[in-house]
Structure 1
């Protein structure tokens, strides 16, 4: 049963495929019993980027226009004011416009867009010309501008950089007079924003007051207790099975104890009924005491296992396998270079996070390292036989959803290994925690976390020495992010990553570089990530 309180900010959590997005869509459509008719509910879904482009009321509407036009009440009042010349009705329209501060709407809309990292030039661009990620920001801005009674946000941080995530969290903390429900894989963001957590598991909603980290502590304690109960139950099961085997076998001999045989048959029936329901609707427990609730493994221990990246052979090239020497890069027609006289090395033990504002050059730097872009001046040297793999959030878009993981990866692998066998592909997929029927069913039927495992398997097919990760946690559930963190920590190669996910960065990197800073356009962070985050928050508050 869904239960929401006015002024509370809820984090809706649960594995991919559990129905979180469906629940938000159902609530937004008014199909949840008990929702007041006059309650304004606004849903920013994961596909809202396309809707905002299609929904702009004026052809060629700019990002700023789209946000302002989302207030249909203001638009209608202005239309009526333009049609009326005088009279009492016009006075009422002006009063209504004053009540909603219609004159202040452009300033409020611009402030929200600036918080989401739009500069003045981007605000003036037509929505249709923006990329999907930036259109998604327009959708979020429109929702914040309207301030509905209930705001539903589905993975709002997927298309945001770190500074925009911090601004959004800070902004939503002030929503004490509204109700918020947010789905996000970003634990730090949820912990900052939420006053309560709703856990969706096995089609049941469980409510936890407090921050996200409080929920994690309570949930983990419950799961540990459940795991211990399950282990005790399984030990009892084995004990009972031994009893049955001993005494039923004895019942077939000449010397037998009818009481023991009878008891053994009773115990055997109890074992057979494990997992079935008694008259009270509860599962039979392996106990002599009759039907009780059976202990089960915690839900998180029933799913996919962790995964590991393939281990590359060593490259004999000293400490550095990539050397960036005196590199200057400037896009054609640009007034100034992004990087100038840049020098740094990447080795097999590198664990580096690239930080910086949106548009500062993080993706450009990764492309220079891979060779997709050539330096304007200087050179990028790579060791002989070095293999570099890049994983981005768009890798899942390149999967053939009509094929199974086995079929898709066999076709991909045979492009470079014609003799590749299905058994070898099965083994490679298995390293990413997918075995059995998961390998042979259509990719379109897999959850987001499962698809990401197929995408990671494909991206690392070459067995790379260096992994470049560009927002790898987008569209992943928390359990898959945990598996990714463990895989990256165990990877026997170098790592460079860009991510807005604070926990991911802190878990897998040991040094931070800020793009867009210093004389060369890249500077080592002086201090910890927490110091960097605090400085950004102070800067946002000044704005």
Structure 2
């Protein structure tokens, strides 16, 4: 900001509006820190942020008691319990750990702390994020009943501002402009500003007017695949594929034939041990048909197909990186995945090309200490070399897949990663905070964001509802329904299967039975009749 005057009157409620990035949250942070020339020393100020972090295993009640002591505004246990009860915290919840709370309950906890602090100046940053309809209604009533407390609110929820704000502060061009009379008065005076304001990205988890859940998660468009002109055209095909692990007597899969297209929404079902994860790994390429005499058939995948596999242990992998921020987690996961093995070098230091030569798949390799000497070697030779060479080959193949699809390799700089995280409800402050303080729902959104970094054509989810909270579960369903790529999930959650799947693959005694269901995909794909006929024929063949 340039030289301005900050004027706040006691008992008024101010709504601050402006374009994203102008500095609204920064201004609130400066006010809360009293980092403003001439700020009164006798004003008690409390700042409730829109993303609540917690690193404490204390119970909710003990946490609130400690927070009050730290802020020199200690309340009795009875008073704390009463306020928490008014916010909806049951006795059981008051004695549960803070880390177990979802984002919505953490916001309520922060609001309860603000109430108990009896602040002169209350700062609220996106307070309706994560709140359901009843909680938003309670907050409106509470703010309107305040008499001696001044409130400053940053919110993209303009219907909420209309109900609580007595004044509007417009933040633009490095200046603050003040408007009395509330939201409607401001809208009548500055309609051009209203139409240009950013709309709310992530509404409360339960929509206030329509009852429809507004998506917290948006999957990226995977882009086209070379030669795939219709989304109904196969991108994966199994033909009479049978599989048995080395050193075992049991044949896991028997003569499996199937096809997947970009419109596929598949639920892979079967009892524990039926071979579901084996089939999924064959689909994504984590397993291949080996030289075992009982392994027969053919597996074909589009050469440029990008796949994201979210395994059951994905959340455990995140738990090993709790001291990282989401930004650094994604940067390290994908940067080190390409370059970490280069430290081992050996004689081959880089893969620079790929082609079929003399009927064999070959790679052009560059060797250490040979500036201009690049040679072609068959894949059969390279497969016998050290593990880091296989890593180099895999990374080069991934690079070609991205380039062949018309999508440039994504830069791993901080700005690009933050923009990506926003599509999963991980905003600026949360993106640069340590993961160890996240709620379960926030952690699961980081897992999904990392998995989708490569803009995959096919998403494979292995029991996703095991690590998703209710809020993220609903958002994931919406994201899958609008996704332009293929989805395969292993799940015992019937509600999830019914919401996302348009076909079910039942695996029993090594054999696959395919059942088509009504499509859950949004209308308007515009595929031709000829392609639909082809798809129906494929379905019958799969059966």
Same fold by TM-score greater than 0.5: no
Shorter-chain TM band: 0.3 to 0.5
Greater helix share, structure number = 1
Greater strand share, structure number = 2
TM-score between both structures, scaled by the size of structure 1: 0.44
TM-score between both structures, scaled by the size of structure 2: 0.44
